Amino acid sequence: IIIIIIIIIIIIIIIIIIMAYSYSTSVIGIVIFYDALREWVAIESDSSNVLKRPDLHHMMEKAAQKLRLMGGMVELVDIGQQELPDGQTLALPKVVTAQFGSDPNKRTVCIYGHVDVQPAKMDDGWATDPYNLTDINGNLYGRGASDNKAPVLAWIHAVEAYQALHMELPVNVKFIIEGMEETGSNGLEDMIVAQRDIFFSDVDYIIISDCGWLSRRPALTYGTRGNCYFFAEVIEGPKQDLHSGVYGGTVIEPMTDLIGILDTLIDPNGKILIPGIREAVAPLSDEEWKMYQDIQFDLENYKNKIGVDQLMYNSKVDLLAHMWRYPTVSIHGIQGAFSDHGTKTVIPAKVVAKFSIRQVPNMDPAVVKKQVTDYLHLVFSKRKSPNKLKVTMVIGAKPWLADTQDPVFEAGKAAIKRVFNVDPDLIREGATIPIARTFQDVTGKSIIMMPIGGFDDGLHSQNEKMSRYNYIEGTKYFIAYLHEVSLIKKTSV
């Protein structure tokens, strides 16, 4: 009996030691993750502010250094200069590329991410210093925490985890990290084209983790909308602004013309009135409808989040479909219009409307440009105004759509199942992430979006955050994903 008791005591002691050890290593792991993110968030890598360009260069160097210290083959690729509105030029932040492993018998994944951020100031209404990562109830608040610094770090931690465990990476891993995403990825497309047969030649799959889940359920993203952005200018009216008391009633006002034509773009029910646009949209299939039906999404939460009592559609499927796979027109502003506080009795001489149309399969921006231009000129001509209309399309970004049956998505579903023990929602993104389509068109590789951001992370907004849970479980998910991708090879080759 004494021997049995001694054995039991020894077993208990061993169990306690094992538990204490695993607890301490996981705590150490978490501290390392947290410190890494804090250091990155502390750098004001705001790509839209030219005064912050040194910080942005520093950020790229820091990311490169981290990957170098891990033993990666790292390059800082010069992508040239940016021309500023005043004619000056400014060096673009270099693009960081890194490579871990080059075994031709393994799959190769390439992870895209960005480490530049949107502007942020305390004055904007932040509760904490946006560049001082602050943990409140398990949420890590800071500019760029979710978009896109923690997801980039989570991928880096995934590689570090294999290294720390002295396990060989099951796939070759490449990184491409840019610093101009928030202002339109200047210079990146040229770099991708130039690297197509070099850096991208052995890449099987490109992974983007630059968006969020739709709810608390993990999600894989298989599509994004594109965007065509237009300027409609009413010009050659009066040669200067006029006093409405003195001249009102005698001239045909450019603003009246402009409002008149803007009102013909879309009806109050959201129906786009420009001929040909709706006809181009891929029809909603039964499978798609069923998939939307199963997605976790709460209309009431959504209403609360944006602070409205009524939405354009009352059913989940209709709402998701219009958020992701139907086009929409949004009118953004009118340049030249009076917009200050108070009153001003002005007749603006020249006004420019800014509006955009979100693009979905199978719309083509070149066709949309013609449809919109022809239609607005037709509508304008019916007004018989002596003023002139000029329509220009300043952005023409295509939508992106992936095949959710592709092995790269099957691997994603399996990794989510393994870590979160649920099947992911397959979702689209209503916003435009042009880089996905660029990667697809230039490299011809399969692209997958694997977000780990929460649905309420507040990207581009005040109090952006990343939860500890998403950061840490997201890292585990990426580790599992690398493993799952390595299995694609065994079954399909």
Ligand X SMILES: *[C@@H]1O[C@H](CO)[C@@H](O)[C@H](O)[C@H]1NC(C)=O
Residues that bind ligand X (CB under 6 A): 129, 132
178 binds, options Zn ion, ligand X, none, Cβ within 5 to 8 A by partner type: none
Which range of residues in 208-216, 255-263, 466-474, 479-487 is near Zn ion by CB under 5 A?
Answer: 208-216
Nearest Cα to Cα of residue 67 among 93, 107, 97: 97
Q: Which residue has the closest beta carbon to ligand X?
A: 132
- Taking the C-alpha atoms of residue 299 and residue 318, their distance in angstroms, rounded to an integer, is 11
Q: Out of 44, 46, 55, 116, which one is annotated catalytic? A: 116
Give least dist CB 41 to ligand X, A: 11
Binding residues among 144-173 for Zn ion as defined by CB under 5 A: 147-148
Give least dist CB 148 to Zn ion, A: 4
Sign of CA pseudo-dihedral 145, 224, 202, 186:
negative
Give least dist CB 210 to Zn ion, A: 4
486: Cα within 13 Å, side-chain hemisphere: 16
Residue 81 is encoded by which pair of tokens?
């200069």
- Taking the C-alpha atoms of residue 33 and residue 240, their distance in angstroms, rounded to an integer, is 59
210 binds, options ligand X, Zn ion, none, Cβ within 5 to 8 A by partner type: Zn ion
Decide: 37 and 150 in contact? Cβ < 8 Å: yes
The DSSP H or E segment spanning 184 is none
In the block, residue with structure tokens 């989940």: 316
132 binds, options ligand X, Zn ion, none, Cβ within 5 to 8 A by partner type: ligand X
Closest CB to ligand X among 132 and 461?
132
Give least dist CB 493 to Zn ion, A: 34
Q: Is the peptide bond before 463 cis (omega within 30 degrees of 0)?
A: no
Closest CB to ligand X among 129 and 406?
129
- Can you say how many angstroms the Cα of residue 139 is from the centroid of all Cα atoms in its chain? 20
Q: Out of 55, 178, 181, 484, which one is annotated catalytic? A: 181
Closest CB to ligand X among 42 and 414?
42
Strand (E) positions, 197-319?
Answer: 205-208, 219-224, 226-235, 242-243
Give least dist CB 400 to Zn ion, A: 15
Closest CB to Zn ion among 147 and 257?
147
147 binds, options ligand X, Zn ion, none, Cβ within 5 to 8 A by partner type: Zn ion
210 contacts Zn ion (rule: CB under 5 A): yes
Decide: 273 and 264 in contact? Cβ < 8 Å: yes
- Annotation says 116 is catalytic: yes
484 binds, options Zn ion, ligand X, none, Cβ within 5 to 8 A by partner type: none
- Taking the C-alpha atoms of residue 479 and residue 411, their distance in angstroms, rounded to an integer, is 12
- Annotation says 181 is catalytic: yes
Decide: 397 and 226 in contact? Cβ < 8 Å: yes
Give least dist CB 460 to Zn ion, A: 8
Catalog residues that contact Zn ion under the rule CB under 5 A: 147-148, 210
Catalytically active residues are: 116, 181
